[in-house]
Amino acid sequence: MRGKESLVICESCGRKVPRSKAVSIEKSISFSTDTKTANDVRFFERRKIYYCISCAKHRGIFEMKKRQAIARSKKMM
């Protein structure tokens, strides 16, 4: 099925981009029920966020991913 690639929406500008051209980042978000009592229940959700190429370049996401890859390679050595 050529040309039938699914589109994702850029988190920053709202542009529709093919999934293969989008830059994806995993982001964890925490939700808290009540912060004033000891019965605080927290929920952690991992979301995959997509950015178009221009927004990713403007926000410095490529440099962030490069630093993470270098840190991972140093950790393995």
Q: Profile the chain (77 residues) by mean pLDDT over runs of 10 residues.
A: 83 94 87 68 84 93 88 85
The whole-number pLDDT of residue 64 equals 86
The whole-number pLDDT of residue 43 equals 76
The whole-number pLDDT of residue 37 equals 67
DSSP 33: S
Instruction: Residue 3: count other Cβ atoms within 10 Å of its Cβ.
Output: 5
Q: Could you state, in order of their start, the residue ranges of all structural domains in the chain? A: 7-76
SS3 state at 48: strand
The whole-number pLDDT of residue 1 equals 52
How far is 69 from 4, CA to CA, in rounded Å? 31
